Every structure is written in C-alpha cells, then in structure tokens.
Structure 1
Amino acid sequence: MIFSVNSKVLEKVLSKVYPAVPTRTPMPILENFLFQIEEGKLTITATDMEITLRSAIFIDSTDNAEMVVPAKLLYDIVRSLGDTLIQFQIDIDNNKMQLSTDNGTYNIGYAASSDFPSIPNVNHDKKFSLSAKQLKKALDQTAFAVSKEAIRPAMMGLLFEFNIDGLRFVATDGHRLVRYSLLSEKSEIPEQYVVPERATSVLSKLL
C-alpha cells in the first residue's frame, strides 16, 4: 500500500490526537496511534482509556488497512520534516511502514490493530451545539477550582449541567465553589455530567 500526504497537514492531525497519548501507562499499546485507512480516508485515534481523540484526513489510496503505530516516534519524525510531501509505503506482510521524503527515509515497525482497545461508540441521540469560544471561556472560568485530591473523587471533575433555564458549569475543591452560567443557551433535555479534570484541560487546549 502506498499513499502520500503533506507533512504539515499530517502534523496538524497528529497534534489534535496526541494529547490523549499517555506518558506513563501499564498498557504499552496505548502509547500508539491507531491508523484506520478506508475508502480514501485516514482516521487516527489515540486514547488513555479516559480520553479518546480522533481526527481524519483524506488520502490518495483505494486500499483499506488498520495498524497501530508508535505515537511519539511518528509525531517527532513528522514535526522534524518541515513542509514537504511524505510518501507512506506499508508492508503489510512484515508489519513495516516506510516514510520517504526528498531528504530521507524512515522505517517504523507497527502492530496489529487487534491489540488496540476497542473504542465505545458515542450515542448521538442527545446533541447540543455550543460555540468553541463559549465552551473555552466556560472551562477557563471554572476548571481551576476542580479538586486535585484523589480522596475526593466526586470533586475531581467539572459538572456540566444542561436544562431549560440555561447551561451551568460548576467546580469545587471543598474550599471554593465556582459556577459559570450561560443563560442564553438552553437545553430541552435536562442532563448532568461530571467531566474529569484531565479531559477538560485537554479540551480547553484544543479549542
């Protein structure tokens, strides 16, 4: 299998999912990206089993394949290339991936996708739209008050509250309580979720 992609385009995609790659984990497989190539689209997934990030780009390939690629190694290589065209050559028989540019060639071994944990499908029955600017402001105004103490697990997250009166984001560490409201945004379906602190931190950086 052979396909080509611009290094800057690929770097942008990798940068979106790399924050979900754990720095330390008892599951080494999580230190990898999941590559899924299907119908001319490359989907890249990373997870630490708490946060899952996924992004995709279109590529010039009619083949389908899945593989697990070392995340840090690939990300560091792509970032070092500058703005150039990368040709990927996938040797499925030997589990090898070759990246070729005008300036050099890089060989990376990969693992079978079956070793990567399955990612649960998100139920899209309940949807709510909010601008990235509004969400980032809400996170920045509240997430700092989330508890860092493991003895208080219920406080180690940010409460998202959706109802007909508006949206509320609430955080507390037991000493301070912060609430940010968006009364102009309303939800017909009342819902409450506690989002872990690491997830809100990653989300804020991506917005």
Structure 2
Amino acid sequence: MVSTCLNSACKIERSRYNIFVILTFVIWSRGGAMRISCMQESLAKGLAIVGRAVATRSTLPILSNIMLASDNGRLKLSATNLEIGINCWIGAKVDQEGAITLPSRILADLVNSLPPERIDLQLVVRTNTLNLKCGRLEANIKGNDAQEFPLILVPDDEKPFLLTASVLHQMIDQVAFAAATDESRPVLTGVLADIGAESLTLAAADGYRLSVRKETVAGVERETSVVIPAKALQELRRVNIADDATVSMLVSKNRNQVFFHLDDVD
C-alpha cells in the first residue's frame, strides 16, 4: 500500500517510535544474522518501485536508505521520505530472519549490474554489513540499523473501498497535472479527494485552471475528504501494474494519511 503522509503525519510520534524500537530489538536480536535468497530480477524490480519514495534531500540520512527485512517468508523492501512511504514484497527463501537498511543508490546500482541469477544475502550484525553473492560476484555494503528506520504503519481496523487500476490511472492523469507547483500556497500543490457514499471525486487547481473527475465506487463505509500531495499521486501512477488489477484505497480516521494497496505493494 502506498501511503501519503499529510500535514502533521510527517511527524513521527515519539511514543510509538520507542515501542517499535523495543519490539524490533527483541525480534531481530534473537534472529541473529539475516540470511535470504532471491532472484536478481525480482529484487531489481522491487528496488525500482520503493526507490520512488527515497528522500533525495533530507537532514535525516536514514531516509536515503531502503530497508530490507524478512516478513512471513518473503523479503520486504521499504522506503519513505516522510511524505510518501512504499512497501514492496518479493518472493524469497528466508533461512534466517533479520533486517537492515542500505543506501538506496548504491544498492540499486549494484543489483542492476548483477546477472539474472540467484542472489544470496547475509547480514553481519556486528558491523551492519550486508554480504551479497550472485554467481561469481560478491560485494559487501555497509548499512544502518533497521531500528532507526521510520515506521510505515498500515491500519488494519478499517475497511478500504476498491477501484480498478485503469480508472485510478485515468483520474490521476486527468487531475494531478492541474495542481500548483509553487510551494508558496501548499494546499494548491495537492489534489482534493472527496469520498462520498458511492463516489470518489478528485479535484485540483493552481489558481488559473481547475480539473475535476468523479467516479462511482462501491464499498465506502465512511464519507470523508482529504488533500493528497499531487507528487504522491503521480508516483503512485508510475507503479507498473496491470490495468485490470484492483486497487484498494483507505483514508485514516484522523485524515492525515491515505493508503493504497496493490498486488504486493503498499
């Protein structure tokens, strides 16, 4: 699910973060050195998807990293710039649980240069170094502790509504372009999403032009409205999924986050 943080959501709650640190320390310290195997093509595709959310300019170096973690027998990739957060899962063989964050550009460039074969990943916990082996090639990448990485939380107590990817793509293409690029009026850089009982309306304006698109949807349990950054919707549009795929959309109760769920991508 692609989550977009709005307004105060960009500030991580300290109490929640502290709980996360304690829990993950217990789990990962017991797991020891992570050992995971996956295919080069799958890892490269996953890195390309989450790489869209990596921060390019940030005072927090950890936001330039991608987190790799074992998750229910799969490899989970996560990235966030505190405005957009993306999780992606790829098939993998998990021999030992664990997690690490690695510099996005270094990791992506390395994986893209590898042959289309199996990649074996092994974490050296003491030095936070990930060892990669693929065919005759071997490399080591220095990373950071996964406990420092911000949480990308997805609520599981609310029911999303559904729409097809083709419809969502059309709505974004027809509306997001009209949003302002001038940061002096932040609200105009976003797209208004108005969720009615049986409809979803997207609207954007920059002071000179206005674009509105309305679509019928089903399964809406709570009517609400929220302003989504246009850049976030445009990044969502760039995720490569089939037009007939189903996308679920959910707005948090406090209206500061929007979640989109696609196949193997949050």
Give TM-score scaled by structure 2 length: 0.73
Gaps of 5+ in 1: none
Q: Match of 2:173, SS?
A: helix
Distance 1:149 1:102, change over 3 A: same
Residue in structure 2 matched with residue 18 of structure 1 by the alignment? 51
Gaps of 5+ in 2: 1-33, 241-266
Please say which of residues 96-105 and 49-58 is displaced more in the overlay: 96-105
Q: CA RMSD in A?
A: 1.7
Aligned-pair CA distance for 1:177: 0.9
Pick from 129, 151, 157 the counterpart of residue 118 of structure 1.
151
CA contact (8 A) 1:39 1:63 kept: no
Distance 1:62 1:87, change over 3 A: closer
Instruction: Please give the per-residue CA displacement for 1:117-170, whole angstroms capped at 9, x wherever unaligned.
Output: 223333551411011110010000010100111221121101111113522110
Q: Distance in 2 between matches of 1:87 and 1:45?
A: 19
Name the structure, 1 or 2, with higher relative contact order (CA <8 Å, separation 6+).
2
1:55 aligns with 2:112: no
Instruction: Please give the per-residue CA displacement for 1:18-40, whole angstroms capped at 9, x wherever unaligned.
Output: 10001111111100011221442
Aligned-pair CA distance for 1:188: 4.9
Residue in structure 1 matched with residue 197 of structure 2 by the alignment? 164
1:181 aligns with 2:220: no
Give, as a single letter, the amino acid of the residue that structure 2 aligns with 1:164.
A
CA contact (8 A) 1:38 1:63 kept: no
1:70 aligns with 2:103: yes
Instruction: Please give the per-residue CA displacement for 1:77-106, whole angstroms capped at 9, x wherever unaligned.
Output: 111113121111221222211111223111
Q: Match of 1:130, SS?
A: strand
Q: Percent identity, aligned pairs only?
A: 30
Give TM-score scaled by structure 1 length: 0.92
Aligned-pair CA distance for 1:181: 1.3
Residue in structure 2 matched with residue 196 of structure 1 by the alignment? 229
Kindly tell me the number of residue pairs found equivalent between the two proteins. 206
Q: Distance in 1 between matches of 2:97 and 2:221?
A: 41
